[in-house]
Structure 1
Amino acid sequence: MKNWKTTLAVGAVALAAAGQALAQAAPQPVTVYSSRIEQLLKPTLDRYTQETGVRINLLTDRGGSLTERLAAEGASSPADVLITVDMGNLWNAAERGLLRKLQSPTLDANVPASFRDPGSRWWGLSQRERTIFYAAGKVQPAQLSTYEDLALPKWKGKLCLRTGKQTYTQSLVAMMIAKHGEARAEEIARGWVANLATDVFTNDNSLLKAIEAGQCEVGIANTYYYGRILAREPEFNAKVKLFWANQGAGEGGAHVNLSGGGVTTHARNPEGGRKLLEWLSSQGVQRDYTHGTFESPINPKAEADPIVQAWGTFKASPLNAADIGSRQAAAIRLLDRVGYR
């Protein structure tokens, strides 16, 4: 009887030790809060799990809602990583103390300085260019130049714009404030409103279709919406064309917004979060992250989707994304003052 009990005890100890060893061998999961569309992000995260064995717990919602959720959860939050869109959302999350400072030579090497937080709390993961589109046959490229030019009377009744309630519009105006100061930016925004051909649009897809339909001749939109239409309707390129804004000497360059991410302040697995962000910014993975979304890779060594490549190279605004994000609130107030709804 004694031998039986001894054997059972030894077996239990061995089983417990084996279970402990197995638990230690299994990598700790990473929990991601993301405002990126789930079907665009999840396949890439699944690839990470396949390559590393690290399970990813993914929760998706709107950018502002996720920021508020992180703030409300505080130290009890399960989130290790926040991935969101728009530089204003990234800046806001960092300024509210929701993202931690990280030292990552890998991220700094993969992400250009203008597309990451100077305080090392967040990094861009893809570029979202916002530029000028025009109706082929009605407008010639030689007539176009800058965002500022679209505020001149020559475009009266010809301009289509997206609502000022949308973060992409707000970030463009925030860029104007950073570039020109608030008074000049307000003058430009007033000119845009005066030149509207129709009511503002809730999304860029509708705006681009309005140019095609002849409701307006020029507009400002994110390039990835254009890419989505071209993927379905290649002939759309003959009707509506892209023009890279502000490419001349002294004009600053085209406005670039971001999707990006950082490790949360109360992350339970900050090391795992850092490794995931480094992997997402790597040259090989950037293909998965941006191909089919029609964004541009943040890593300059990565190859863009063929549809994006066809638009050619351009000069981006050199303004730091954090500098633009910090002016988002001022941009919202400015848009309200000029009646840009």
Structure 2
Amino acid sequence: MTLTRSLFVTTTLALATTAATADVNVYSYRQPELLAPLTEAFTAETGIAVNVAYLESGITERLVAEGDRSPADVILTVDIARLAEAKAAGVTQPVHSDVLSAQVPADFRDPEGDWWGLTTRARVVYASKERVAEGEIQNYEDLADPKWAGRICTRSGTHDYMIGLTSAYLEHHGAEATKEWLSGLKSNLARKPQGNDRAQVKAIWAGECDLSIGNTYYMGAMLADEEQSEWANSVRLEFPVFEGGGTHVNISGVALTKASKNKEEAIQFIEFLTSPNAQEIYAEANNEYPIAPGTAPSDLVASWGTFEADAVNLMDIAGHRAEALRLTEEVDYDG
């Protein structure tokens, strides 16, 4: 097949009808506009069509329910928790590839090969340009300092992105210190946790708070929106680190499903996604940082500054998520 065919499909039946043609069938949490440039480039290079089912939630549950009947060859998702969840549920299988090992650093892949990172995003501080001096926030630990009382906004503490940061704090400092940090952060909140990462930046723009915690790529998304660009221009990004560590990062990643019927083509697609060319396309589209050695972020992303990523294996962080959720609930963070 030589024509590009990146489809928006919503049912298993729709995917199953194309499986016999040795296409690659994908379940994805990522938006269509982020994946279309990649699937089109892959098809142009290989002649292999890519069919994508875009899901808002439940990829792992769907794969478990479908079992060996699943038409999906590949899952594309964000957040280490979802990749670890899929592996733990037994719906992925290892990929052993010299190409992938060369293109994906060890910190950003599963030690057993069940998932592979594609791009990273940092969880950083959005700071008011008017009310916070540059460099005033150096460490994540600083967010619990009483000097920020009534000046911080965040989304729910139980959201995956916040649980990821709390899990990283656990990895560095242990349970007792993490609970104390969560209590201090809660005491510094200007309002009850609510909304998404962009809503926190809007609150800074509106004068409700001076700092928020958010993923880096939201800056790019807001700057591209006529209304939200005003919010974005009211803040700058600060890249805090853990004491003795680096800046917390998470990933978007890919995995081969256990039920894959088109394994050879699927692995070819996964290898393509980690290639320098695809990495630049993907990172440009989603305002994230490419993983492949020798690839650079877009000019916009590079303009936000540089940072040293925390040198902690993401699977170790994922292993702390249950405890992170427990501690978050113990301090009644969202109360």
TM-score, length of structure 2 as denominator length: 0.89
Give the number of equivalent residue pairs: 313
Q: How does 1:213-252 map to 2 (within 5 A)?
A: 213-232=206-225, 238-246=233-241, 250-252=243-245
| Residue 23 of structure 2 corresponds to residue 29 of structure 1 | yes
Which has the higher mean CA deviation after the structures are superposed, 80-89 or 142-151? 142-151
TM-score, length of structure 1 as denominator length: 0.88
- Rg larger in structure: 1
After superposition, what is the alpha-carbon deviation per residue over 1:166-209, rounded to whole angstroms, capped at 9, x for unaligned? Answer: 21111111111112112211111111111100121321111111
Gaps of 5+ in 2: 1-19
| Residue 124 of structure 2 corresponds to residue 131 of structure 1 | yes
Distance in 1, Cα, partners of 2:56 & 2:231: 30
| Residue 133 of structure 2 corresponds to residue 140 of structure 1 | yes
Give the counterpart of 1:114 among 107, 124, 129: 107
Q: Does the CA contact (< 8 Å) of 1:92 and 1:325 recur in 2? A: no
After superposition, what is the alpha-carbon deviation per residue over 1:127-184, rounded to whole angstroms, capped at 9, x for unaligned? Answer: 1111111111211123211111111111110111111232111111111111211221
Distance in 2, Cα, partners of 1:106 & 1:330: 36
| Residue in 1 that maps onto 2:35 | 41
| Residue in 2 that maps onto 1:70 | 63
- Residues 1:199 and 1:335: Cα distance change in structure 2 (over 3 Å): same
Which has the higher mean CA deviation after the structures are superposed, 119-128 or 322-331? 322-331
The CA RMSD measured in Å over matched residues stands at 1.7
| Residue in 2 that maps onto 1:153 | 146
| Residue 272 of structure 2 corresponds to residue 273 of structure 1 | no
Query: Which amino acid counterpart does residue 32 of structure 2 have in structure 1?
Result: E
Query: Which amino acid counterpart does residue 316 of structure 1 have in structure 2?
Result: A
Residue 308 (structure 1) shift: 0.2
Once the two structures are aligned, what percentage of the paired residues are identical? 40
Residue 230 (structure 1) shift: 2.3
Q: Does the CA contact (< 8 Å) of 1:146 and 1:251 recur in 2? A: no
Give the counterpart of 2:280 among 277, 282, 287: 287
Distance in 1, Cα, partners of 2:204 & 2:139: 18
| 1:162 partner SS | coil
| Residue 266 of structure 2 corresponds to residue 296 of structure 1 | no
Gaps of 5+ in 1: 1-25
Distance in 2, Cα, partners of 1:62 & 1:319: 28
Runs of 4+ in 1 over 4 A off after TM superposition: 233-238
Distance in 2, Cα, partners of 1:253 & 1:230: 26
Q: Does the CA contact (< 8 Å) of 1:290 and 1:296 recur in 2? A: yes
Residue 97 (structure 1) shift: 1.1
After superposition, what is the alpha-carbon deviation per residue over 1:258-279, rounded to whole angstroms, capped at 9, x for unaligned? Answer: 1101101121112211111110
